[in-house]
Amino acid sequence: MKLTSDSLAPQLAQRLLPAYLVSGDEPLLAGEAADAIRARARAAGFSEREVHFIERAGDWEDVRGSAANLSLFGARRVLEMRLTSGKPGVAGNAALVSLLEARDPDTLFLLLAPRLDRDAQSADWVRAVEAHGAWVQVWPVDSTRLLGWLKARARSLGLEASEEALELLAARTEGNLLAAHQELAQLALLNAGPQMSAAAVQASVADSARFDVFQLAEAVLAGETTRALRMLAGLRAEGTEATLVLWALTKALRDVWTAQAGEGGRAPAWQRQSAALAKAVRRAPRLCFGDLVQRAGRADRMIKGRLTGNAWDEMALLAVALSAKPAGPPLALAR
């Protein structure tokens, strides 16, 4: 079966399955899901735990050997495998299918992996996990759900946060749930009472936001100009290559042009990207694509040193213009 981080707890309350696969790129949620499975296993009598770090093909022989060896005291155990990739190779695929189909009642298999791409999702070992256990897919909490997530997490820590406090916390920790959780835990310890104000957040929370170029493209397509510029400044401060940032912006521009021209093409991978693109298409009649292409070209020449100017300022203007807002003078970004 397939589960999410939200549906895992109800499933564990009903019964413990022989195998679980937890995959995803959100460390906090993936870690909490694995902890919940381990705790439920201990309560069910799985008192031993073996951990294998899978880094090369030969590691699978160690896993097979460990699974074949009965505990000296006959204790039930959790056999945990941490995969560095969602593609364990031929040896890993065969080993996992064999172990899962053996159905040892005294062994619970817990697999931890990064996000699985489309090819990995259809692999035999993943299908075996779904057939004999559960695959827990951990998805990032995007900007549209972040305020709700923060509110629920604050309440679980005994805090009642104002909307202003939640918005400030979201702006400072977006893309970094672990930092958000740590800041909330700190506020719960330091706050004088259950009420959490924006002033308390301002005084306590550091700017721990973390962005990637795909989030930047999504914000630009959605017309979220302020958020896009904050992301652009964050990417620059983190040392992200300007070439990669420009690639994301020009791809967003190309996607809008293709969609509004009715040329079709491959749909975005995530539903929120599709929604952002739909908003951009509605704004397309107000966009001057020729000017946007020229501005992208200028930024490219600046990055390559063929034109005098600041490429980051030029990309900021491109982001603003693509969001269908008046461009204005170059915007100063954090250096």
Residues 6+ apart with CB under 8 A from 91: 57, 60
> Which phi-psi region, left, alpha or beta, contains residue 322 (left: φ > 0; alpha: ψ -120 to 50)?
alpha
Residues 158 and 253 in one domain: no
Give me the pLDDT at residue 328, please: 44
**Contact (CB, 8 A) for 126 and 158:** no
For 187-221, the pLDDT digits (tens) are 887 776 788 777 777 777 666 666 788 888 888 99
Residue 335 is assigned to a structural domain of this protein: no
* pLDDT confidence band for 324 (50 / 70 / 90): confident
Residues 15 and 133 in one domain: yes
Q: Is the pTM above the cut of 0.75? A: no
Residue 243 is assigned to a structural domain of this protein: yes
Residues 130 and 149 in one domain: no
Tally of domains within the chain? 3
- Gap between the Cα atoms of 210 and 173, Å rounded: 7
Range of the domain at 77: 2-137
Give me the pLDDT at residue 33, please: 95
Most confident of 125-129, 152-156, 180-184, 284-288: 125-129
Residue 125 is assigned to a structural domain of this protein: yes
**Contact (CB, 8 A) for 141 and 27:** no
Residues 151 and 227 in one domain: no
Residue 332 is assigned to a structural domain of this protein: no
**Contact (CB, 8 A) for 45 and 78:** no
Q: What is the mean pLDDT of residues 71-79?
A: 73
Residue 334 is assigned to a structural domain of this protein: no
Q: What is the mean pLDDT of residues 313-326?
A: 84
Mean residue pLDDT across the chain: 84
For 38-50, the pLDDT digits (tens) are 999 999 999 888 8
Residue 71 is assigned to a structural domain of this protein: yes
* pLDDT confidence band for 283 (50 / 70 / 90): confident
**Contact (CB, 8 A) for 198 and 168:** yes
Residues 19 and 129 in one domain: yes
Give me the pLDDT at residue 26, please: 87
Q: Which of 121, 137, 153 is the last residue of a domain?
A: 137
Give me the pLDDT at residue 58, please: 72
What is the DSSP secondary structure assignment for residue 70, as one 8-state letter?
A: P
For 130-163, the pLDDT digits (tens) are 999 999 999 888 777 888 899 988 888 888 888 8
Among residues 197, 210, 211, which one has the least CA distance to residue 168?
A: 197
Q: Which of 155, 173, 204 is the last residue of a domain?
A: 204
Give me the pLDDT at residue 182, please: 85
- Gap between the Cα atoms of 193 and 215, Å rounded: 35
**Contact (CB, 8 A) for 187 and 153:** no
Residues 176 and 103 in one domain: no
Residue 293 has pLDDT above 50, yes or no: yes
Tell me the percentage of the chain whose pLDDT exceeds 90.
28
- Gap between the Cα atoms of 280 and 277, Å rounded: 5
Give me the pLDDT at residue 133, please: 94
Q: Which of 170, 204, 238 is the last residue of a domain?
A: 204
Residues 19 and 127 in one domain: yes
| Strands 107-113, 195-196: pairing kind | unpaired
Residues 18 and 116 in one domain: yes
What CATH number did the domain enclosing 35 receive?
A: 3.40.50.300
- Strand-pairing partners, residue 54, are 83
Residue 328 is assigned to a structural domain of this protein: no
Most confident of 52-56, 126-130, 226-230, 324-328: 126-130
Residues 6+ apart with CB under 8 A from 311: 242, 246, 299, 302, 303
For 261-282, the pLDDT digits (tens) are 775 544 444 445 678 888 888 8
Q: What is the mean pLDDT of residues 68-75?
A: 64
Residue 57 has pLDDT above 60, yes or no: yes
What CATH number did the domain enclosing 192 receive?
A: 1.10.8.60
Residues 264 and 291 in one domain: yes
Q: What is the mean pLDDT of residues 66-72?
A: 68
Residue 331 has pLDDT above 60, yes or no: no
Residue 331 is assigned to a structural domain of this protein: no
Residues 15 and 43 in one domain: yes
- Gap between the Cα atoms of 218 and 29, Å rounded: 23
Residues 259 and 274 in one domain: yes
Residues 273 and 304 in one domain: yes
- Strand-pairing partners, residue 209, are none
**Contact (CB, 8 A) for 231 and 196:** no
For 301-310, the pLDDT digits (tens) are 999 888 888 9
- Gap between the Cα atoms of 80 and 112, Å rounded: 8
Give me the pLDDT at residue 266, please: 45
Chain-centre distance of CA 25, in angstroms?
5
Tell me the percentage of the chain whose pLDDT exceeds 70.
89
What CATH number did the domain enclosing 276 receive?
A: 1.20.272.10
- The residue count of the chain comes to 335
